[in-house]
Amino acid sequence: MSIDLSQFIPTFLEESVEGLELMESSLLELDQESDSETINSIFRAAHSIKGGAGTFGFNDVTEFTHLVETLLDEMRDGRRKIDQDDVEVLLDSVDCMRLMIEAIRDEVTCEDDKIAQTSILLEKTLAISSHDSNKSVAADSDKIDESARTALCWQIRFIPQHHLVQTGNDPLLLFNALSDLGELSVFAKTDDLPSLSDMDAEELYLTWKLELISDCSEEDIKEVFEWVEDECELIIEQKPQGMVVNENVVNVNEEEELPSDKLSNEIIPSSGEKTLETKTNDSEKVATKAKPEVGSIRVGVDKVDGLINLVGELVITQSMLSELGNDFEMSKVERLVSGLEQLLQNTKELQESVMRIRMLPISFAFNRFPRLVHDLSKKTGKEIELIISGEQTELDKTVMEQIGDPLVHLVRNAADHGIESADIRIAAGKPAKGTITLDAYHQGGNIVIEVCDDGAGINRDVIFAKAVEKNLIDAKDVLSDSQVYDLLFEAGFSTAAEITDISGRGVGMDVVKRNIQSLGGRIQVESVHGKGSTFKVHLPLTLAILDGQLVKVGSETYIIPLIAIVESLQVESDLINRVSGDMVLYRLREDNVPVLPIYQLFELSAECKEVDNALLVVVEADGQKVGLMVDDLLAQQQVVIKSLADNYQQVDGISGATILGDGSVAMILDIPGMIALAKKIGKENSPSIIQDSIGENA
């Protein structure tokens, strides 16, 4: 009989990942002063992983985790002092376990030197204090005697203590189990039965003599009595077969008359039925075995309840509307309108609730940072404290998955370039311990994540000089602070005097910026030299829905992401500056904004081809403003983003498409892409001048 448990593997893996996270975060907090609950919770997590892994036959995980668990157990019992070296070993072990778990999830074999090394290290650590009590975990079960396999007659004397039934054990069921091993005869002895007045109904006064004809070993018999071995006298003897003593047979049925009301007469039924039943269930289960899912979200019950409520309301509205439609008269228009309004309301709420399901607290992304900072602090020899706040701020799961790496980079940078070494800090009158703060909060429809350090800050002169050296700017250029900081995100830019293995290869910051931009977000730097720097990442809450401004160009409707729009205005002709040929600059207060006619970019026929009196939507991307010339401004609305690349192909200047209320398809403009496109077109037309006029605003 086999029961297929593989359907529980995904749950186990998910749970293990959570367990590992808990172990990691608790280990980071762990020190001499920690209360016992911290170490207990770490132990429990390891314990569960080991138990689950053993069940599913992931033996490498079981063996490895057993070492971890043993070490934790020693710490838990106070047999071993909690010292930092051991914690480091444990942290490495957590990494190894994660590797193994991930390998199982991805269904690959996991061969990593780190695992072997760490397990040697664990064994070494354990050997140092080797009053190890539970070394022989698996040993007992191996020494089952394989020799005796011919049918033997076993004579068993079973004398239970009076209180045996009070621990929930039942002799009849034990005999039942024995009868599975072979042919069993049971003789009850009533010698010790007290007189009725002395009898306690909750006590057991009977003793038994059992005879078992079976090919089993003594171990097999002992195993049946495993749970009662301390509460009974058990004598097992082997007798030559055929000499079964038949005198004095007291049938078990007689027990009916005996005072022990716990006993009944159903002794030794055939145990075949249940087994059969299970088998049929099994074969069904095998058929429905599914591949592990790629990912799942845990959703709070309250969110699901909310959804069910909303769907209920939707159904009510629907039935109201369909009733209204059955025999519609003009007099009912008012009710129709209010019904439709209700429908709109329901749909909106439902949409919001569904979106909320995908929202997870950002702590999922923040969780890895305590460990990271701990490691960085060790590697750099700087004392660094990490403060995390706003971890309950919710963010779309897909955004969360993609923001992790850029954030890691920013934190690494802060630890490596930002925070100074202790002596420099003290000389500057700062506490020796540096602080990195991670914060998240909502602002409008966006989430802002701040990575802030109290280190040296950014030295704008150094960056400026470096940029000149790299020919990114001209030495005569006058740049604002934020323009200088933006240089940090240029490809190949690194100001670290020495390249360390943590950061400073100059790859990274540009990637960080690109990643954030691809999420529809932006990054902003604030810094005070000597006081520290703050990197602010602005991200949309979700990637699936966008607040957009609908605009008309010719017969087409386009959508401009609201987040990119600075302002919309009617062109005043005296502020227009024609630079050369097709290039037009519009004077917007102190800025000169290049005007991009959308109809030209996409080769459309527009109603309005003259810049004078045109409508201009000023948008900003990459710190660069441009004015998009449109025919008309339409409504602002939330649109659902459909990927163009998935459904058609990538188009320059277009980030996606959506379907409007009237069923028509509208393109969503990709502002940075459009600017790049305009530059390219500009280059073809008149190389230098246009290039400069756009570049100047950078």
Partner 1 sequence: MTKVLVVDDSNSIRDMVSFTLKSAGYETIEAKDGQDGLSKAQSDGFDLVISDVNMPNMDGITLCQELRKLSSFKFTPILMLTTESSGDMKQRGKAAGATGWLVKPFNPEKLLATIKRVVR
603 binds partner 1 (CB under 8 A): no
Ordered DSSP codes for 329-345: -GGGHHHHHHHHHHHHH
Under the binding rule (CB under 8 A), the answer on residue 437 touching partner 1 is no
**Annotated catalytic residue within 211, 346, 409, 413:** 413
**Of the ranges 11-19, 246-254, 440-448, 621-629, which one interacts with partner 1 (CB under 8 A)?**
11-19
Give whichever of 137 and 294 is closer to partner 1, judged by the CB atom. Answer: 137
Q: How far is CA 141 from CA 144, 150, 219, 221, in A?
A: 6, 21, 10, 14
What residues form DSSP beta bridges with 188? Answer: 208
Task: Count other Cβ atoms within 10 Å, centred on residue 299.
Answer: 14
For residues 185 and 244, is the Cβ–Cβ distance under 8 A? Answer: yes
- For the bound state, the minimum distance from the C-beta of residue 281 to partner 1, rounded and expressed in Å, comes to 5
CB of 4 to partner 1, least distance (A): 9
* Residue that has been written with the tokens 């609908």 in this structure: 550
Q: Using the 8-state DSSP alphabet, how is residue 418 labeled?
A: I
Nearer to partner 1, 136 or 636 (CB): 136
Q: Kindly tell me which residue out of 134, 246, 288, 331 binds partner 1, with binding defined by CB under 8 A.
A: 134
Closest contact distance (angstroms) between CB of 10 and partner 1 is: 9
* Nearest distance, CB of residue 134 and partner 1, angstroms: 4
Question: How many CB atoms within 10 Å of residue 353?
Answer: 17
Nearer to partner 1, 226 or 501 (CB): 226
Report if residue 278 touches partner 1, rule: CB under 8 A: yes
Contacting residue, 15, 88, 383, 526, with partner 1 by CB under 8 A: 15
Decide if 668 contacts 562 (C-beta within 8 A): no
Q: How far is the CB of 224 from partner 1 (least distance, A)?
A: 7
Give the number of other Cβ atoms within 10 Å of residue 688's Cβ: 10
How, if at all, do strands 591-597 and 583-588 pair?
A: antiparallel
Site residues for partner 1, 338-397, by CB under 8 A, read none
Catalytic member of 24, 47, 66, 420 = 47
Overall size of the chain counted in residues: 698
Q: How far is the CB of 139 from partner 1 (least distance, A)?
A: 10
Strand 545-553 relative to strand 434-443: parallel, antiparallel, unpaired?
Answer: unpaired
Q: Which is nearer to partner 1, 94 or 618 (CB)?
A: 94
Q: Which of residues 207-246 bind partner 1 (CB under 8 A)?
A: 224, 226-227, 230-231
177 binds partner 1 (CB under 8 A): yes
66 is an active site residue: no
What 3-state DSSP class applies to 57? coil
Tokens of 466: 């470096």
Minimum CB distance to partner 1, residue 630 (Å): 55
- Gap between the Cα atoms of 436 and 63, Å rounded: 38
* 437-460 residues labelled b (16+ CB within 10 A) or e (exposed): bbbbeeeeebbbbbbbbbbbbbeb
Are 261 and 273 in contact, with CB atoms under 8 Å apart?
no
**Is 47 among the residues known to form the active site?**
yes
- State yes or no: is 69 an active-site residue: yes
Q: Does 441 interact with partner 1 (rule: CB under 8 A)?
A: no
Number of Cα atoms under 13 Å in the Cβ half of residue 599: 20
> Would you say 278 or 643 has its CB closer to partner 1?
278
Nearest to partner 1 of 169, 494 (CB atom):
169
Site size with partner 1, rule: CB under 8 A: 53
Say how far apart CA 339 and CA 317 lie, in whole Å. Answer: 7
CA 263 to chain CA centroid, Å, is 53
Q: In whole angstroms, how large is the CA radius of gyration of the chain?
A: 38
Taking the complex as a whole, how short is the minimal distance between the CB of residue 227 and partner 1, in angstroms?
Answer: 3
* Member of 109, 195, 197, 281 binding partner 1 (CB under 8 A): 281
By CB under 8 A, residue 83 contacts partner 1? no
Which H or E element spans position 400?
helix 397-413
Calculate the CA 21 to chain-centre distance.
9
* Contact flags string 136-175 toward partner 1, x per CB under 8 A: -x--x------------------------xxxxxx--xx-
Q: Does 271 bind partner 1 (CB under 8 A)?
A: yes
Among 239, 262, 397, 433, binds partner 1 (CB under 8 A): 262
Query: Of residues 18-77, which lie at the interface with partner 1 (CB under 8 A)?
Result: 40-41, 43-44, 47-48, 50-55, 57, 62, 69
Report in angstroms how near the CB of residue 107 gets to partner 1 at its nearest.
18
Cβ contact 37:7 at 8 Å: no
Task: Tell me, letter by letter, the H, E, C secondary structure of 15-37.
Answer: HHHHHHHHHHHHHHHCCCCCCHH
Here the tokens at position 602 are: 């996409």
Sign of the dihedral through C-alpha 420, 421, 422, 426: negative
Q: Residue 452: which H helix or E strand, with range?
A: strand 446-453
Q: Are the CB atoms for 593 and 618 separated by under 8 Å?
A: yes
Contact call for residues 350 and 310 (beta carbons, < 8 A): yes
Instruction: Identify which of residues 176 and 437 has a Cβ nearer to partner 1 in the complex.
Output: 176
Quick one: 1 or 243, whose CB is closer to partner 1? Answer: 1
Strand partners, 448: 441, 538
Give me the 178-207 binding string for partner 1, x by CB under 8 A, dash otherwise.
--x---------------------x-----
19 vs 339, beta carbon nearer partner 1? 19
Min dist CB 87 to partner 1, Å, is: 20
Catalytic residue among 24, 69, 74, 420: 69
Per the rule left: phi > 0, alpha: psi between -120 and 50, beta: everything else, 613 is: left
Q: Check: CB of residue 296 under 8 Å from CB of residue 14.
A: yes
Shortest Å, Cβ 300 to partner 1: 16
Among residues 285 and 332, whose Cβ is nearest to partner 1? Answer: 285
Which among 5-13, 414-422, 504-512, 621-629 is the span making contact with partner 1, rule CB under 8 A?
Answer: 5-13
- Which residues within the stretch 626-665 sit at the binding site for partner 1 (CB under 8 A)? none
For 237-254, the DSSP string reads EEE-TT----TT---GGG
- The contact pattern for partner 1, residues 86-125, with x = CB under 8 A and - = no contact, is ----------------------------------------
- Nearest approach, Cβ of 279 to partner 1 (angstroms)? 10
Which CB atom, from 106 or from 282, has the smaller least distance to partner 1? 282
**3-state DSSP helix/strand/coil % of the chain, to nearest 5:** 45, 20, 30
Closest CB to partner 1 among residues 58, 154: 58
Among 111, 277, 305, 632, binds partner 1 (CB under 8 A): 277
Nearer CB in complex with partner 1: 98/262: 262
- Nearest distance from residue 132's CB to partner 1, in Å? 11
The separation between the first and the last C-alpha atoms of the chain, rounded to the nearest angstrom, is 72
CA distances from 75 to 70, 86, 88 (A): 9, 10, 14
The residues with which 436 forms a beta bridge, in sequence order, are 386, 453
Q: Which residues are catalytic?
A: 47, 69, 413
Binding-site ranges for partner 1 (CB under 8 A): 1-3, 5, 8, 11-12, 15, 40-41, 43-44, 47-48, 50-55, 57, 62, 69, 133-134, 137, 140, 165-170, 173-174, 176-177, 180, 202, 224, 226-227, 230-231, 262, 266, 271, 274, 277-278, 281-282, 285
